[in-house]
Amino acid sequence: AQSVTQLDSHVSVSEGTPVLLRCNYSSSYSPSLFWYVQHPNKGLQLLLKYTSAATLVKGINGFEAEFKKSETSFHLTKPSAHMSDAAEYFCVVSDEGGYQKVTFGTGTKLQVIP
Amino acid sequence: DTAVSQTPKYLVTQMGNDKSIKCEQNLGHDTMYWYKQDSKKFLKIMFSYNNKELIINETVPNRFSPKSPDKAHLNLHINSLELGDSAVYFCASSQDLKLATDFFSYNEQFFGPGTRLTVL
């Protein structure tokens, strides 16, 4: 069984300050982990994905995430927020690769204040 | 050149009606999905098809029936629409395991823009 918990439903940051969106997962096997972004009235876009090659994963638009097995976490960070980062962010886990079944977190809405 | 497309983008209808949402992908993927996103933005998988065969069928009312005429299309038909069906429905596709370059390519899903269904 797998599950994912996004610890904050809303995060508000000022433009130019760091972003931290938290995600914890539960998995019976070695998980695949992803972050997706959804801009208002748009579909979902993959930001980054975890592979076993490196625990620090770099994605698009300056985002990165670190896989910490001991903490079962996969937090998303960005050094400096931009207004265009305002969106909904979803952490996703999959450990049932045979059927490609993924579980979405409940989402974190990122607000960027000018 | 849209990778995953859905029609219509918006759908407003009365309770009790029957409606369909269409999805097409031009990525050559073998697996397609339907997700429902509720008003709180929670995304839940409904169905998954691999090469026109149903492989995931979550607890979804019988009123929802997916149909896959070929591996590039996965349509969703809903009978006797209810108020609670109002949501945004997303179609997605992913690479088949046999063709994926690595396990994680296998899991990456590409999403359509969504169909906002409103039942009055």
Give A36-60 as a DSSP string: EEE-TT--EEEEEE--TT-SEEE-G
Low-confidence ranges of chain A (pLDDT < 70): 95-101
* pLDDT value for A93: 87
Contacts of A32 in chain B (CB under 8 A): 103-104, 107
Q: A49 and B113: CB-CB below 8 Å?
A: no
Residue of B nearest to A93 (CA): B107
pLDDT < 70: residue spans in chain B: 1-2, 96-107
Instruction: Check B104 against A102: CB less than 8 A apart.
Output: no
Q: pLDDT tens across B61-87, in order?
A: 899 999 999 989 999 999 999 999 999
User: Among A107, A34, A85, A10, which residue's Cα sits nearest to residue B88?
Assistant: A107
The 3-state DSSP class for residue A73 equals: strand
